[in-house]
Amino acid sequence: MLHVDKVDSLLAEKIQITASGLNKFQCYKFYLKLHYEYGNYHSYCIIQSDEFGNIDLRKSKPIRGTYDEIDEMGLFLSIQPSQEHRYGAYLRNHLANPFYYTLELISESEEVIDRINLIKRWCHPLVSQINIAEPEFHGTIFKPPGPGPFPCIIDVPGATGNLSNGHASVLSASGFLVYTFAYYDYKDLPKKLQDVDVEVFSKHIRFVQSLPYCSGKIGLYGASLGGTIACFLATKHPELSAVVSLNGPEAFYKDTGSMKENGKTMECETYNHKSTTLINGIVKQKDNFLELFNKLKPETSIKWDTISKNIPFRIVSAIDDWLLCGVTNGLNMRNHLQKTGHFVEMDFIFCGHMVFVPYYPFQAFAYNKYVRVSLGFGGDCTISSKTKETLWQRNIEFFKKYLGIPPNVPDYPRKSVIFVPDSAKSKM
């Protein structure tokens, strides 16, 4: 009854879902469950079969469901937390483990007619994962098959600072050598962001430059505070070949977004908590950051004029960002770069602040242990998720243009039958 063209696929790959042998002109439910140990995620759509008893999600518009337009990946785009998922919890996958799903076909009488398990892999099976664990130096290399050299992307962590392989693992499937690292709140590293000296980031860049399979063409990718750090590092490393900042604030700020430089606390403007907006218990910080960055002075700003003119930038800003005013912040960064003679590609996207890898479940808000509140990210589930599909490809194309086109990673032997391991199933 159910058919999926690839039950074993990479995370960013699209798959085709169809059903046949059905009663004609009857409604059927497609129910998708993402297995997660701390509470499952799910989505569904109800679609009427055609005159031949067939349904093709590439052609069929849902009568109702968690998405409402024709889209072959609609079930993945609209997947949401189930009731067993803890309020404000965040789906964590720092180790880039595969996602396991169960897809069910259900009749009008609520009978499960067919069921198929699926796997979406964050890391391409032919990509080597090399863990780096030295005193006060921790990272992960994702190396494509072959001797190289390969163009390289460094995934700069954001405000959490610990080792998370998510972005890096998915980027590496495009053929790039990708490196990511931890810089605080991890093993023997500083416990607080404010105790980190920015020199540590340069150490990681120099480490990547020393790798025999790195081509020397290195781009930085950073989201949120990682985007700010990536722009700052461009002032220190004229040899960089490209920078992508995704929802990165235009400057560092006290007290939760600043570090040390040369052993001294950075000069930053201070974040004013008094202008915070609280909506149904969720913090909206947009006005706070507007106020903060309106006070920027040369000594509290990134030194845009010291960045090499040879480094192209791609600035991505979300229109419905609840943390930043995405339009103002993005335009400010673009204007700084254009005034100093840099090439900048600007991309305003229909998302909130939280923009991760394709088909990662939408996150409207989450509890933040560092500030001890639930932070709102903004955005709409299906619209944001759909935007991530095309955004991911545009980011890849930008890196290919300025770092060079990497070799294609060969296909891997794909499983035809998937079993969901107990470790992936919900314990809730």
Q: Are residues 235 and 354 in the same domain?
A: yes
- Is pLDDT of 428 > 70? no
Q: Are residues 259 and 157 in the same domain?
A: yes
Q: Are residues 225 and 158 in the same domain?
A: yes
- 413 assigned to some structural domain: no
Report how far residue 371's alpha carbon sits from residue 42's, in angstroms, rounded to the nearest whole number.
29
- 22 assigned to some structural domain: yes
Whether the Cβ atoms of residue 225 and residue 375 lie closer than 8 Å to each other: no
Task: Kindly report the number of other CB atoms within 10 A of residue 2's CB atom.
Answer: 17
User: Domain boundary residue among 121, 156, 171?
Assistant: 121
Report how far residue 397's alpha carbon sits from residue 408's, in angstroms, rounded to the nearest whole number.
14
Tell me how far the alpha carbon of residue 302 is from its chain's centroid.
24
More confident residue, 261 or 89: 261
Which residues form the domain of 62? 2-121
CATH number at residue 296: 3.40.50.1820
Q: Are residues 143 and 176 in the same domain?
A: yes
- Is pLDDT of 367 > 90? no
Which residues are known to be catalytic?
224, 321, 353
Q: Are residues 178 and 96 in the same domain?
A: no
Task: Kindly report the number of other CB atoms within 10 A of residue 92's CB atom.
Answer: 12
Please provide the average confidence, as pLDDT, over all residues in the chain.
Answer: 94
User: Tens digit of pLDDT for each residue in 271-328?
Assistant: 887 778 888 888 898 888 999 999 999 999 999 999 999 999 999 999 999 999 999 9
User: Domain boundary residue among 80, 97, 121?
Assistant: 121
Q: Are residues 116 and 137 in the same domain?
A: no
Output the pLDDT for position 422. 87
- Phi/psi at 197 (5° precision): -100, 135
The tokens for 245 are: 């900042």
Q: Are residues 88 and 132 in the same domain?
A: no
- 78 assigned to some structural domain: yes
- 288 assigned to some structural domain: yes
Q: Which long-range contacts (CB under 8 A, 24 or more apart) does 62-66 make?
A: 63/27, 65/30, 66/381, 66/382
- 291 assigned to some structural domain: yes
- Is pLDDT of 207 > 80? yes
| Domain total of the chain | 2
CATH number at residue 44: 2.60.40.2240
User: Tens digit of pLDDT for each residue in 11-48?
Assistant: 999 999 999 999 999 999 999 999 998 889 999 999 99
pTM (predicted TM-score): 0.95
Q: Are residues 188 and 39 in the same domain?
A: no
The tokens for 27 are: 């409604």
User: Domain boundary residue among 89, 121, 153?
Assistant: 121
Q: Are residues 153 and 55 in the same domain?
A: no
- 424 assigned to some structural domain: no
Contacts of 403 (CB under 8 A, 6+ apart): 151, 152, 153, 176, 215, 217, 218, 219, 241, 242
Report how far residue 158's alpha carbon sits from residue 377's, in angstroms, rounded to the nearest whole number.
15
- 243 assigned to some structural domain: yes
- 418 assigned to some structural domain: no
Q: Are residues 109 and 153 in the same domain?
A: no
Q: Are residues 163 and 218 in the same domain?
A: yes
3-class DSSP state for residue 75? helix
Q: Are residues 225 and 93 in the same domain?
A: no
Report how far residue 412's alpha carbon sits from residue 420's, in angstroms, rounded to the nearest whole number.
20
